[in-house]
């Protein structure tokens, strides 16, 4: 019985998926490309080595990395099918991400300063925002990239982690933020601003910078996490209503002020009215998902290249086309399991700061997944964010592994 249990360990399933996927890709390529075999074994080696270290060093919840490994494997296999160079770059970023995973795991456990520097998180974040706005480059209507040594870095991916730490620092001990008193000599009036409203103002500065960058998808993500925290930690109904009204006003303002937001909203309502132009991307996504059926056309046998930006925003459409609706449901279930284990870690750990960080990281992943999948299937307006651990992108992948390393460290404490 013991040997059977060892045989069915989920890591073997991850290895099997990679072997099958890269073997199909190798057979699909003509003339046969030996780099495909090398890429496949590189991914398997990275996963197995990391998993072995997690077990050897007793690093906590072993299933977190296995779930991410399965998502990552599906993403790299699909990226290789879309373009070999994309997948090879993603494998390099995977190695960098795993390195950051271990570095952040040990840093989080060894240092005990994370809940004591509440002002550092917003200050560093605002500096990154300003650098991005002043020196950054634009892409699809948003200014969200900084070029460093020929490598484009998306600053908001780093700020996501800082934002979660800022929320956790405040809710661990709200007294870390001081009340502010503004005095006027004429007339003699004093205005006291409570720490709660200072906290809300600091959150809106985060979201305001994202508006200035025209990165509305990430702004929606931050605001969603913020609202969840207000609700979970028992904010007054008036506070929740106030923030809901501000959100509605922000949506209306975005619709009339940002052209690309208005286009996305209009194509969400009726993409068929301009199917050859503004509605082309979302309609091709729906066609791709529909043409895959339940079981898919088969790896390499679909036409996901008809969908613009298929390797980033619309990789889920490619998965559904070639791996079927069942393949897409499997991806969704993997994210569900990841969120379940993240929330479970949050409930099991003793330290308040650790509990809130685990909750924030899990909420960030869960909401990001919902936002991008909802946009791809036309459930909500499309936003320009990536599907965690699956879409192409070095900044997103490395940021994801940084968050995963922190969550892994918290599971070790639990």
User: Per-residue pLDDT tens for 363-405?
Assistant: 999 999 999 999 888 888 888 788 999 999 888 899 999 999 9
pLDDT attached to residue 142: 64
User: Per-residue pLDDT tens for 109-121?
Assistant: 998 888 888 889 9
pLDDT attached to residue 222: 92
Q: Is 10 exposed, middle or buried (0-12, 13-18, 19+ CB in 10 A)?
A: middle
φ/ψ of 160, rounded to 5, equals: -55, -45
- Compute CA 198 distance to the chain's CA centroid, rounded to the nearest angstrom: 27
pLDDT attached to residue 320: 93
Number of domains in the chain: 1
- For the chain, list residues with pLDDT below 70: 1-8, 137-143, 149-150, 178-193
pLDDT attached to residue 43: 94
Under 8 Å between Cβ of 410 and 112: no
Contacts of 67 (CB under 8 A, 6+ apart): 334, 337, 338, 341
Strand partners, 183: 190
Residue written as tokens 């501000």? 246
Domain span at residue 181 reads 2-413
User: Per-residue pLDDT tens for 317-343?
Assistant: 999 999 999 999 999 999 999 999 999
> Radius of gyration (Cα) for the chain, nearest Å?
22
What are the b/e assignments for 199-230, b being 16+ CB within 10 Å?
bbebbbebbebbbebbbbbbbbbbbbbbbbbb
Local structure of residue 300 (DSSP, 8 states): T
pLDDT attached to residue 358: 95
Q: How far is CA 120 from CA 169, 180, 359, 402, in A?
A: 11, 18, 21, 18
pTM for the complete prediction? 0.90
φ/ψ of 375, rounded to 5, equals: -70, -40
């Amino acid at each position: 019985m013991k040997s059977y249990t060892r045989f069915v360990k989920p890591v073997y399933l991850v290895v099997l998926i990679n072997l099958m996927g890269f073997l199909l890709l190798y057979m699909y390529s003509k003339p046969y490309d030996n780099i495909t075999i090398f890429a496949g074994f590189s991914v398997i080696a990275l996963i197995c080595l990391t998993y072995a270290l997690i077990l050897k060093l007793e690093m906590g919840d072993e299933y977190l990395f296995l779930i991410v490994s399965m998502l990552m494997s599906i993403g790299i296999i699909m990226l290789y099918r879309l373009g070999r160079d994309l997948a090879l770059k993603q494998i390099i970023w995977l190695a960098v991400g795993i390195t950051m995973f271990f570095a952040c795991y040990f840093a989080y456990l060894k240092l005990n300063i994370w809940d004591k520097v509440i002002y550092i998180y917003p200050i560093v974040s605002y500096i990154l925002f300003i650098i991005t706005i002043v020196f950054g480059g634009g892409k699809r209507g948003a200014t969200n990239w900084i070029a460093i040594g020929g490598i484009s870095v998306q600053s908001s991916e780093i700020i996501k982690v800082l934002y979660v730490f800022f929320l956790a620092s405040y809710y661990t001990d709200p007294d870390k933020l001081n009340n502010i008193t503004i005095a006027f000599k004429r007339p003699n009036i004093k205005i006291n601003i409570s720490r709660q409203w200072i906290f809300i103002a600091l959150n809106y500065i985060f979201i305001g910078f994202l508006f200035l960058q025209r990165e509305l998808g990430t702004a929606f993500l931050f605001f969603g996490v913020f609202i969840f925290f207000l609700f979970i930690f028992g904010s007054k109904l008036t506070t929740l209503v106030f923030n809901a009204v501000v959100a509605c006003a922000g949506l209306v303002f975005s619709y009339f002020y940002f052209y690309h937001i208005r286009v996305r909203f209009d194509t969400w309502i009726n993409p068929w009215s301009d199917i050859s132009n503004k509605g082309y991307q979302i309609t091709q996504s729906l066609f791709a998902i529909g043409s895959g059926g339940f079981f898919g056309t088969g790896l390499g046998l679909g036409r996901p290249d008809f969908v613009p930006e298929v390797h980033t925003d619309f990789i889920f459409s490619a998965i559904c086309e070639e791996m079927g609706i069942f393949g897409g449901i499997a991806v969704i279930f993997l994210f569900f399991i990841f969120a379940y284990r993240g929330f479970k870690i949050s409930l099991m750990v003793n330290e308040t700061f650790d509990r809130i960080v685990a909750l924030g990281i899990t909420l960030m992943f869960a909401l990001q997944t919902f936002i991008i999948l909802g946009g791809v299937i036309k459930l909500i307006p499309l936003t320009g964010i990536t599907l965690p651990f699956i879409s192409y992108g070095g900044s997103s992948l490395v940021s994801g592994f940084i968050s995963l390393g922190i969550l892994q460290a918290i599971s070790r404490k639990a």
